[in-house]
Structure 1
Amino acid sequence: MTASIIATGETPYTRHPPAATTTPQVIAEAVRRALSDAGLTPQDVDGFAVSSFTLEPDHAVDLAWRMGFELSWLMQDTNGGASAGGMLQHAIHAIEAGDASTVVVAAGDLMDRNAFSSLVARYNRATEQHLSPLPLSGPNALFAMLTSRQMRALGLERSDYGKIAVAQRRWAAKNPGAVYRDPMSLDDYLTAPMVADPLGRFDCVPPVTGADAVVVAADERVAGRRRARVLAVTASYNSDNQTGDGLQTGLQACAPPAWDRAGISPEEAGVIGVYDDYPAMVIAQLMDMGFITAGADVPKFIDSSIFTGKLALNTSGGQLSAGQAGSAGGMHGLVEVANQLLRQAGDRQTDARFGVVSGYGMVLYRYGACANMAILESVA
C-alpha cells in the first residue's frame, strides 16, 4: 500500500458532556486537532470519511461543509466497532486510485443518557423487534452468554478476565485522555456489582461523549516525516451468517491475508489495539489473529503476557477504561496504535515498529457481523 497515517486527533472523552454539546461539535474538534497535528488546514484536505450513530439529521456532506472542506472523495460509515478499519481501507483505495491525496477519517458521538438509551433500543431491526421487547437493555446479556461459553471452552475464571481489565487500567493511568484512571485491583474487579452474570461492572464499556480522527496521506506527499505506513487492511462481513457461537470472529478470515500482505508475523507486532467492548472479545480476537496459538494455555497467556504488561495491548487503557464514544469506539484503537508508531504516546510510549489494530462489531441477532484488521509500520 502507498499511504500512511501522519497525524491523529481526539476530542477529550467525558461521561457528562455540557448541555450544549452536539455530535458535529465533538467530531469537528477531533478533526481540527488532527489537522493541527499534521500541520495542515482544511484547504489541504480532499477526502473525508466519517462514522457516527448520532450525526442525524446531518450527513457526511453537511459536516464536511461546516468544517470548510471542498472534496473529491467522501464517505459515511455506519459499522460502529468496525468503522475505523472499513474507512481506512476505503481511504487507502481512494488514494491509490488517485481520487484523493489527503483524507481525514473521523468518528464520534454524543453519548448522554438519552442518546445511549435510544441507541441500544433501536440499534437495528433485530434489536428493536426481538431484543428490546424481552427487555434487554443493550448487548450485555448476549455477551454474558458468550463469556460463559468461552469460560467453559478455555478453562477461564472471572479472575482471568479481571486481569485484562486491571492491566488496561494500568495503561490508562498513563493516558490523560482516559475517563477512568484511578488504580483498580483484581479484588476491586471481582467485588464490583454484577451486571449480567458473569459480567460485572468492569467488564462492560462505559459510554462517553467524544471523537477521534486520523489524517491519511499519500506516501509521496509525506516523505521524510514520521508516519505510520499502512501495510495491510483486510475485512470480513457476515462471516458466520449469524449461526456461530461467537467464540470465533471474522478476524479468522482477515488475519491470514493481512499477515501475508504485511510480510510479518504476530511475534513482530510491538503494539496491539483490539476492540474491547468485553474482555471475552479481547481473547477471541487475539486468538483469531494468531497472538494466542491453537491449544495454548489461555489463562497462563493472560497471566504472563497481558497482566504483566509484557504484551503492549490496548495501551490507551482501551475502551474499558478510556470509554466508548459511540461509533468512535471503532477509531479508538487505531488512534492509539498510530500514536505509538508516530512516537507521540507520552508516558505509555513503546518502541514498537509494527502495530496491529482490529475492529469488530455490529450485533445482529447474535454477535458481531463485521470485522477488520490493519497492520501499520512506523517509518521515520
Structure 2
Amino acid sequence: MYQSLRGQTAIVSGATYGMGEAPGLSSMDLAAAASVRALAQVGLKPSDVDGLFVSVPDDMLSGLTFSEYLGIHPRFTDNNRTGGSAFQIYAHTAAMALASGQIDVALIAYGSNQKSASGKLVQSSRPSPWETPYRPINPVSSYALAAARHMHQYGTTREHLAEVAVAARKWAQLNPDAYMRDDLSIEDVLGARMVSDPLTVRDCCLVTDGAAAVVMVRADRARDLVANPAYLLGAGSATTHREIASMADLTVTAAQDSSRRAYEMAGVSAADIDVVMLYDAFTINTILFLEDLGFCPKGEGGRFVADGGIAPGGRLAVNTNGGGLSCVHPGMYGLFTMVEATQQLMGQCGARQVDGARLAVAHGNGGVLSSQATLILGTEDTL
C-alpha cells in the first residue's frame, strides 16, 4: 500500500534566507522572504500557491497569519506542530493533496528570529510532574540522557560524539551560507564548556535566525518548472512519546519505523542512499539516526562516524550543509534538511556537492526524540 505516492510529486525549488543573524526581521518576515525566493526560482508567485504548510515558533495560528501576510487564499493549510519533524510530515501531506488533485502548488515554509529576538534556546514551559523536580536544562538534558545511555550500553565515547561535531564543521567550511565556519577539532569539542553531561556546548546545535522554503508540485508539471526536480519517492513518520521519561529505550527511536515506511514506499534501502540529511540538534542525534535509519547496526554509530566517517571524503555524506551543529538552527531545523537534500539532487551545492547524488534522505526529529519523519528524494532516473 506504500507504493501509491511514489514519484507522483516533486520538490522543484528550495531556498533559505537570513541564515545566522537577521536583526529587525520577524519570524514571518523571514519565512516570507525564503518563500518568495523559492517561488521565484521556478517562475511562480505567492498567488499561485493553493496549498500552504507553515510553522513558526511564535504564532500558533501561523497558517492564518502567513496566508494574510502573503495575500493568498489557499484551498488547504496545515499548521501541524510536531516540532522539527513537522516539515517532513507536511511534505507527506502535501504529496497526498497534490496527487489527489486537491491542490496544485504546495509551499512549505518556516522562519524564526530566535537569535536576534532572544539569544536563548527556546524551551518548553510545559511543567512535567516526572521531570521538572529534577530541574533539567531541557531540551539538552533529555538528549544527554540518551547519550549517556548509549555510551553505557554500547561503549560509545565522547570522542565519537565529537567526531559528529567536527564532521559537520568540515562540511560547513565548504558552505558559504553556514554560520560557523572556523576550525574545530576533537579536542575543542571535548574541552568546551559542559552543558549537560556528557554534552558540551559544541555537542549542541547553534542558536540562530533563519528561514527555509520548498515548493512542491505534481510530477507531470515538475519538468516544466525545473530541469532536475527532486521527486518524492517515499515518506513515513512515527511518534512514540512526548517526554523523555516515557521513552521505552533511550537508544532506539521511532526513526526505525518512519524510515522503514519511507524505504518501503520508495522501494530502496539505506545501502542505496547517496546523501543523508539528519536533524542534528545534538551530536547523539546523528549517531542514533544513522543506526535507526539502517546505515549501521544498532550500537555501531559511534564507530561508524569515527575517523572522519561522515566528514567530506568519508564513507557517507551526512549533513553536507553543516547541519544544525554548524550551519543553522533557528529553533526547528527539519525544513533545512529538505532544502539541502533537494539542492544536492539538483547539483546546486558548489564545493560541497556530492558527485552523482541520485538518492537522498531528509530526516526530521521533533520533541525529545519523540516524533520522527523520513523522506526519500530522488532524481528522475530513480523513478
Q: What TM-score, normalized to structure 1?
A: 0.91
The answer (yes or no) to whether the contact 1:292–1:301 under 8 Å persists in 2 is: no
2:29 matches 1:25: yes
Residue in 2 aligned with 1:5?
A: 11
- Structure 2 residue matching 1:87: 3-state secondary structure: helix
Q: Secondary structure at the match of 2:268?
A: coil
- The structure 1 residue matched to 2:96, chosen from 85, 90, 93, is 93
What letter is aligned with 2:268? I
Provide the C-alpha distance between the structure 1 equivalents of 2:301 and 2:204, rounded to a whole number of angstroms.
25
The CA deviation at 1:62 is 2.1
Deviates more, 1:170-179 or 1:250-259: 250-259
Q: Amino acid of the residue matched to residue 17 of structure 2?
A: T
Q: Does 1:153 align with 2:153?
A: yes
The question of whether the paired residues in 1 share the 8 Å contact of 2:288 and 2:301 is answered with no
- Letter of the 2:11 partner, please give it: I
CA distance in 1, matches of 2:370, 2:340: 24
SS in 2 for 1:77: coil
Secondary structure of 1:40's match?
A: coil
1:323 counterpart = 2:333:
no
Fraction of identical pairs, as percent: 29
Find the residue that maps to 1:112 and give its secondary structure.
helix
Structure 1 residue 249: Cα displacement: 0.8
SS of residue in 1 equivalent to 2:303: helix
**1:370 aligns to 2:332 (yes or no):** no
The equivalent of 1:201 in structure 2 is: 201
Q: Which residue of 1 aligns with 2:237?
A: 235
Shift of 1:130: 5.9
Q: CA deviation at 1:115?
A: 4.3
User: Which residue identity does 1:84 align to in structure 2?
Assistant: F
Aligned to 2:256: 252
Greater shift, 139-148 or 274-283, is seen at 139-148
Indicate conservation of the 8 Å contact 2:163/2:308, yes or no: no
Tell me the residue number matched to 1:312.
Answer: 317
Distance 1:5 1:138 in 2: 34
- 1:315 deviation in Å? 0.3
> How big is the shift at 1:316?
0.4
1:376–1:203 Cα change, 3 Å:
same
Residues 46-65 of structure 1 correspond to what in structure 2 (within 5 A)?
46-55=50-59, 59-65=62-68
Per-residue deviation, 1:37? 1.5
1:347 paired residue among 346, 351, 355: 351
Shift of 1:138: 2.5
Q: Go from structure 1 to structure 2 and tell me whether the alpha carbon gap of 1:59 and 1:304 turns closer, same or farther (over 3 Å shift).
A: closer
Distance 1:217 1:121 in 2: 35
Instruction: Give the letter for the 1:142 counterpart.
Output: S
1:326 maps to amino acid = G
State the AA in 2 paired with 1:289. Answer: L
- 2:122 maps to 119
| 8 Å contact from structure 1 (residues 53, 78) kept in 2 | no
Shift of 1:312: 0.6
Q: 1:69, CA displacement in angstroms?
A: 2.1
The CA RMSD over aligned residues, in Å, is 2.2
**Cα contact 1:155–1:299 (8 A) shared by 2:** no
Cα 1:174–1:12 change in 2 (3 A) is: farther
Q: Structure 1 residue aligned with 2:110, among 107, 124, 146?
A: 107
Displacement after TM superposition at 1:298 (Å): 4.1
Shift of the 137–297 alpha-carbon distance from structure 1 to 2, 3 Å rule, reads closer
- The structure 2 residue matched to 1:226, chosen from 225, 228, 233, is 228
- Letter in structure 1 aligned against 2:14: T
Q: Alpha carbons of 1:10 and 1:190: their partners in 2 closer, same or farther (altered >3 Å)?
A: same
Compared with structure 1, are the counterparts of its residues 204 and 26 closer, same or farther at alpha carbon in structure 2 (3 Å cutoff)?
same
- SS of match in other structure, 1:80: coil
SS of the counterpart of 2:67? helix
2:111 maps to a residue whose letter is: G
Please state whether the residue corresponding to 2:110 is helix, strand or coil. Answer: strand
Q: Deviations over 1:55-85 (max 9, x none)?
A: 35x5312211221323211111212211111
Gap change, CA 1:155 and 1:295, over 3 Å in 2: closer
Whole-angstrom distance in 2 between the partners of 1:119 and 1:294: 31
Question: Counterpart of 2:291?
Answer: 287
SS of 1:6 mapped into structure 2: strand
Alignment partner for residue 299 of structure 1, among 299, 303, 317? 303
1:119 positional shift: 3.3
Q: String of CA shifts for 1:183-203, please: whole Å, max 9, x gaps.
A: 212222222121122111110
- Asked if 1:278 is matched to 2:279, the reply is no
Counterpart CA distance in 1 for 2:116 and 2:130 is: 22
Letter in 2 for 1:357: A
Aligned-pair distance for 1:207? 1.4
Give CA deviations for 1:245-286 in whole Å, capped at 9, x if unaligned: 321111111222221221112111000011101111111111
How far 1:121 moved relative to its partner?
4.5
Q: Which amino acid aligns with 2:236?
A: T
Task: Identify unmatched segments of 5+ residues in structure 1.
Answer: none
Q: Please, what TM-score do these two structures have when normalized by structure 2?
A: 0.90
